[in-house]
Structure 1
Amino acid sequence: MVDPHRGVLYPAKLPNFTRVDPPADVAALVNWFWIPEWDIAPGRSSRQDLVAYPSSNLVVEPDLVGISGPTTRISHRDLSGTGWAVGAMLRPAAVAALAEDPTTVIDDYRPFDAPDLHAAVSAAMSDGEDPRRHWRAVKAFSEWLGQRIPAPTEEALLANAMVDLLISDPTMLRLDQAAATLAASPRTLQRLARRYVGLPPSAIIRRRRLQEAAQALREDPTSDLSTLAADLGYADHAHLANDFRTVLAFTPSSYRGAAHNPDEN
């Protein structure tokens, strides 16, 4: 199981956050549902920084339904006031059914026309004291997905298997390795990645390694950067540092210091 918090750069700053596994009937469509709830003091805000999974998300908020595509850089959201969201981290099989071309929503978050989904999830979340509100919201969301999205094809399931492999197996460092494991050609995996994810397989592998590097730096402030780079399959420390600068706009050393002093960020 992939750690749902792996892409959160400063976990100590998370609002009240609930992760819910999908019901069995939509497990081929959703990795997990995520439900943040927050109550920020007037005049203050809380920034949530992410190096997100290479996935799209369908999100219900009090005033809209939105779809976000995979990201190529650090992303953030500033929370203020009181609020909630119910998001579904989509598997590739669902992405293809909801976004005609997922490359068009890369690094974007845009409204998604689903008034019935909004009404059902909002009704479930309307009573903030109801201990079953998360279960009700996920049930409503899952029912909507099951009605909206047809049963995944064999191709869609292969796309699921490809992404599962690339984001969870640290030994997968090259496309040809994944192709051999899945008994598919590299060209097929490249086509599936474009159609069902929006990013090439190489970008999915880089994102996993960057998340793992950030997690390791959070968990062990004394870790040697050269050793960490080698453990994660980078050619050397310089390549790890370049990935950090390209995606996160800071170095591994500066992130390590910030991760252990989150109140200063």
Structure 2
Amino acid sequence: MSGPRRDYRGIVDAHELLSHVHFRRREPAPGLRTQVANYWLIDWDLPEPYVSHVVPHPSVNLVFQHYESAGEPPFAEVAGIGLQLFSQKLEGRGRVCGVKFRPGGFRPFAPDHPVSRWSGRRLMADEVLAVPAPVAAVLDPAEEDARVAALDAYLLALAPEPDPQAERVMALVERVRTDRTIRRVDELARTEGLSARSLQRLFATYVGVGPKWVILRYRIHEALERAETDPEVDWATLAAELGYSDQAHLVRDFTTTLGVPPTALAGR
């Protein structure tokens, strides 16, 4: 498995976010890298409020959070796949330590339910996971390495069992992310020797959303990145590259997901 990715796909105006917060990714312990894509750590100390926006990946996240200015105690929650644009207001001081599971990688940690049970929902971690979340151990240390070590220890204590189906699904989703020729669910199913319905059930159980949703989301991520980095992007050409029948369909899906057309973000 590859290490933490270097790009910021899915973050709306990543440059603006990085100018407001200290954001970094860390690798999990070797025994966790099959299921966990990376840890992501954010600290902030802001004179003025800032609102971040993210087009979520098809991943479940375990998020330890402390919003000091809100006067609330720190907590940990399981965030199922976000089905809509996610916005978060940050103000004052705070800290977040997150675990981004690979698509399909969360099921071994909570095998009693299909991952679709958590999609579009955010629940306290202790409602989902068998071992109480060590909130203080993760959020309190000043040293970043200590926070990473606490995340490693907690996830290893959950002792996920090897699951060949989870590994199969993780490989499938990675193909969808990297291979632009995969445009239709029935084509993807055929390469796996499955019916489209069987593939949909497999994704609902292990990813939390259907394969069509995953294909669309990764294409929107790419369109967002192009919108923000290339002020002269040819949308008709990009739509064809991403498997859309025409530019209008890409613009419609982009606008539905982000709330604004791609031209509103062009060159940012």
Q: TM-score, normalised by structure 1?
A: 0.86
Give unpaired runs (5+ residues) of structure 2.
Answer: 67-73
User: Which of the residues 81, 99, 122 maps onto 1:88?
Assistant: 99
Residue matched to 1:64: 75
1:203 equivalent in structure 2: 213
Equivalent residue for 2:16?
A: 13
- State the shift of 1:115 in Å: 4.1
Deviations 1:3-57 (A, max 9, x none): 551010111122110011222210112111110111111xx21111111111110
Percent of aligned pairs with the same amino acid: 30
Tell me, yes or no, if structure 1 residue 119 matches structure 2 residue 136: yes
Higher helix share: 1
* 8 Å Cα contact 2:107/2:166 also seen in 1: no
Deviation of 1:229 (Å): 0.9
Give the deviation of 1:96 after TM superposition: 4.9
1:17 partner SS? strand
Residue correspondences, number: 249
Would you say the 8 A contact 1:56–1:95 is kept in 2?
no
One-letter code aligned to 1:67 = V
Tell me the residue number matched to 1:39: 45
Match of 1:246 among 250, 256, 259: 256
| Aligned partner (choices 36, 54, 59) of residue 30 of structure 1 | 36
Give the corresponding residue for 1:109: 122
> Contact 2:22 / 2:44 at 8 angstroms: preserved in 1?
yes
Q: Which runs of 4+ in 1 moved over 4 A?
A: 1-4, 180-185
CA deviations on 1:189-220 (whole Å, 9 max, x unpaired) are 21221011211000000000000001011111
Name structure 1 gaps, 5 residues minimum: 128-132, 261-265
Q: Where does 1:71-220 land on structure 2 (aligned, <5 Å)? A: 71-91=82-102, 92-98=104-110, 100-113=113-126, 115-123=132-140, 126-127=141-142, 133-220=143-230
Cα distance in 2 between the residues matched to 1:149 and 1:173: 36
State the 1:227 CA deviation.
1.3
Q: TM-score, normalised by structure 2?
A: 0.85
3-state SS in 2 of match to 1:87 = strand
Give the distance between the partners of 1:215 and 1:242, measured in 2 at CA.
17
Match of 2:71? none
Report the CA distance between 1:135 and its aligned residue.
Answer: 2.4
Residue deviations 1:64-114, cap 9 Å, x none? 001111122211101011111110111223235337243233222222116
Q: Which moved more, 1:159-168 or 1:27-36?
A: 159-168
Q: Is the 8 A contact 2:108 2:160 kept in 1?
A: no
Q: CA deviation at 1:244?
A: 1.3
Is 1:52–2:64 an aligned residue pair?
A: no
Letter paired with 2:110: L
Inter-partner Cα distance in structure 2 for 1:82 and 1:61: 11
Using the TM superposition, name which of 87-96 and 13-22 deviates more: 87-96
Preserved CA contact (<8 Å) 1:58 1:66: yes
Secondary structure at the counterpart of residue 222 of structure 1: coil
Q: What secondary structure sits across from 2:209 in the alignment?
A: coil
Whichever residue aligns with residue 187 of structure 2, its letter is: Q
Contact in 2 for aligned 1:45/1:79 (Cα 8 Å) = yes
